[in-house]
A and B are shown apart, each in its own frame.
Chain A
C-alpha cells in the first residue's frame, strides 16, 4: 500500500567530481545504503536505508559524501509533526510498538543548561590546579554514624565497604549483548587505568573480563541473566537494577539476533533466543522485598561489597530513595529520563520519567531532611554530557556521576539512535564479528581515558575558580549554583537562587 512508502528522512549526497569509486562506502555500510553499479560505473545510494551514522562520511577518503536532512515535507502542522504522522502510518501497517534507541531526543528543558557556576573574585582567592593540589578522589558507600578508638588509637567502630574513585565519574550499565565485547573491553580497561568502575549491565560478565573485577560493578537485574556466585564475587560492588531512565516501569529486551555463542554463554540463555527481563523483579513487589534481596546479596558476598540500587527518576523519586536508603543499600543510582538505552519503546522513552537534575535535587534534600544522607551515596546519570554537567550535579548533591552515552561517543558512536537494529557500523551496538572488529579496544580504552582526564581537568579548573580544592567541598554546595530563566518553583526544587540574587 502506497501509504507505507516514506520518503527517506536523510539523503546521501555524493559529489561525483570528488568520488574516486574506491567503494569504501560500500564496504563500510552494514545497512547496505551504498552500491556500485558496474554498468554505469558509478556509486548509487538507497537513502531509505540510511540511519545517518556518519560512518561512510567519516571514512570517505575524498570527502565526497555528506548526509543531509531531507527537505521533502508534509504539509506543516504544529500539532502533527511529520514524524508523528509517519509513526501512525507505521503502526497502522504493522500493529506493533515502536522501538527506539539511546536517550530521549525530544525538546524538553535541559536543566543543566539553566544553571550557572560561581567563581571567586577579591574576597576569596581562586586556586590554580596546575600549581596547587586539587582533589577529585571520593568514596562511595555508607559512612559510620559514630567513630570510636581503643586505647592504642585503633578504630573500633564498625566500618562499611566503600568504593574508592580517583575521579567522581563511572561508566554506567551497558550490557554485553547490547554492546559488543570490544566495547566492554574498552570500558573495563579504561576503568582499571583510571581507578574508577564500569558496570556490566544486566548481561553477565564475559569470562575474559573477570581479570578487571576490581574495577567492575556487577549488575543484578530482573532477568538475572548471567548471575551466579562467582559473578557476584568477581565485582567490586553489586548493583540491583530496579529501573532505567530510558524506560521506567518496563524490563529489557535483547533481540535474539544479538544472542550469539558468547552472549548466550555469558547470559546463560539459549543461543538465538530473545533475552527478556521482566518489568518488575518477581521477588520484589515492595520495599521490604528489596531489603531481602540486598541482604541476600550481601550474605552471598560476606558483606564485603557495597550494594547499589539503581532506579529510574520518576515522580515520587525522593520517597523511593529514602526507602532504599533505609533498606540497607550503600549507594543509590538515579537514572534520568534522558538516559540512553540499546532499545526502548519509543513512547515510553519519550514520555515517562523526570529530569535527573530535579530528581537529584529533591532526593538529596529529602535524605538530608531525614538525616540519612551520610548513610548512602548518590550517583546520577541520564544524561551527564560534559564536565560542566558534572560540576553542577555534584554541587546539587551527587557523590558521583554515571556516564553511558558520553563513553560511547568516545568510542565512535554518532548517536544515530539505531542500536536496536544491531547493525552498528562503529562496532559498538552490534554482535556481528565483521562490525565488532572495527572497534579496536586498544584505541578505544585510550580514548575513554583521554575523555575522562580532560573532564577531570575541567572539573578541577572550575573548582579552583570557586576557591574549592576538594570535591568533597563542592558536593551539595548549592550556593555555587544560580538558575537562569527558571521559575520560582523550579528554583525551589533545585534549592538554588536565581542569577543576580
Chain B
C-alpha cells in the first residue's frame, strides 16, 4: 500500500506562476488559471493549486480558514474546536463545480473567524500565534481534518489534478485579487492527497515551490524546535515555516530573509563592506540551519506583496516580467506571455537574488 503524504517524503518537480498588481487593482482568478495551463507538461495531474490575495474584501479583518474534511465526524469535531476558540462569523461550503478530471473530493469548508478575546487573553499568546497554533492543533490532532488556508483577506484553493482543472473546479473566475500564485505538481509518487497539493499556507503566508531541496531535514529539525510540526514532509511546508519564523517571529524583512535562506557564499560575504559583512556573517551563523540548498524557485505570497526567489546556484528556471503596474513571475516565459503578450521588460533573476514586490501606498484598492 502506498504511504500517504506525511508518512513518506516525496520528491517532485513542478511549475509555478504568479503575478501582482502594484496599485492593488483586483484581477479575476481565471487569469492565473490560464497562465499555469501553458505549463501543462510540468505537472502530472497529481496536484494543482492557487493562492489569491485581496479576494475577501467583505471579510478582510477576519481569518479565513479553508478546511478539508474526510467525513462529517471530522467536521463536527473541528467545528467544536473552532467554536471553543473563535467567534465564527460565517461558515459555508466552498463553491465548486463538478469536473470530470477532479474526483474523490473531500468536504471543503470555509470559515470566517475571529479569536475569542477571553481565549486569546488566557493563552497569553499574540493573536497570530494563537491562530497559527490553532491551525497546527487541528491538523495534528483531529483525524480527517486539514486546515489548508488560514490568513486574512486571502485564500488557497488546491486539489489533486492538473492546475487548470483545479481552477475550474473551484470557480476561480468568481474571485478577484491583487495578487495570485499558482502551482502545478509533478511528484514522483503519491497516492494523491488533497492536503499534499500546493500552495502550502500558514496565516497569510503561502508558498509555491518548484524544486527539491537537499537541506530538507536540517531545515525541518531546526524549525521543529520552535513549535512547528512538519506533518507533510514537503519542502513547501518547511519553507513556509521558515518564512513565518523569520518574518513573524524574528521581525526580519524579506530582503534579509532571502539573505538567510539563499545566503551569499562566504567568498562573496568576505568582499562586502564591514557592516554588511558583519550582518551576513551573523545571519549565516545564527540561522545556519535555515540555509536552503538544492534547487528551488519559490513565490512567496504575503499580506500586501509577493517575493520570488531562486536557490543561490539557480538550479531551477524562473523568469520575471513587468508591464505597467503588473509584475509577473513564472517557471517559463510562456506562462507570462500567455496572459501578457507584450511586456515592458523580461529577465531571468539571478540565483539568490530576490524579487520583492509590494503594493504602492499600502494598496488603496485591496480593501484595506
Interface residues of chain A, those whose CB is within 8 Å of chain B, are 120, 123-125, 127, 132-133, 135, 137-139, 143-144, 146-147, 149, 153-155, 159, 162, 368, 371, 373-374, 397, 466-470, 472-480
Contacts and interface: CB of A to CB of B under 8 A. Distances in A.
A192 to B, nearest CB: 19
Contacts of A162: 285
B216 A472 contact: no
B218 A474 contact: yes
Contact of A147 (B217, B226, B282): B282
A97 B212 CA distance: 57
A24 to B, nearest CB: 49
A155 B277 CA distance: 11
A124 B285 contact: no
Nearest to A141: B285
Given A147-B282, A155-B282, A125 B315 contact: yes
Given A144-B286, A476-B289, A477-B216, 10 more contacts: A124-B294, A125-B315, A127-B313, A132-B313, A138-B288, A154-B275, A155-B279, A155-B282, A467-B294, A475-B289
A146 B286 CA distance: 9
A476 B293 contact: no
11 contacts: A155-B278, A155-B279, A374-B222, A374-B289, A468-B214, A469-B293, A472-B218, A472-B288, A473-B289, A474-B218, A476-B289
Contacts, number: 108
B221 interface: yes
Given A143-B286, A147-B286, A480-B217, A123 B212 contact: yes
B83 interface: no
B293 A473 contact: yes
A149 B224 CA distance: 26
A451 B224 CA distance: 37
A123 B211 CA distance: 8
A133 B265 contact: yes
Given A120-B214, A123-B12, A147-B252, A468 B293 contact: yes
Contacts of A470: 263, 291, 293
B212 A124 contact: yes
A374 to B, nearest CB: 7
Interface residues of B, number: 42
B123 interface: no
Most buried by B among A147, A468, A473, A474: A473
Contacts of B291: 470, 472-473
**In the complex, which of the residues B12, B252, B285 has the most CB atoms of chain A within 10 Å of its own CB atom?**
B285
A138 B289 CA distance: 11
A16 B317 CA distance: 72
B306 interface: no
A475 B218 contact: yes
B254 to A, nearest CB: 15
A466 B265 contact: no
A477 B217 contact: yes
A112 to B, nearest CB: 19
A154 B278 CA distance: 9
Interface in B313-348: 313, 315
A147 B250 contact: yes
Nearest to A372: B225
Contacts of B275: 153-154
Nearest to A475: B218
A139 to B, nearest CB: 5
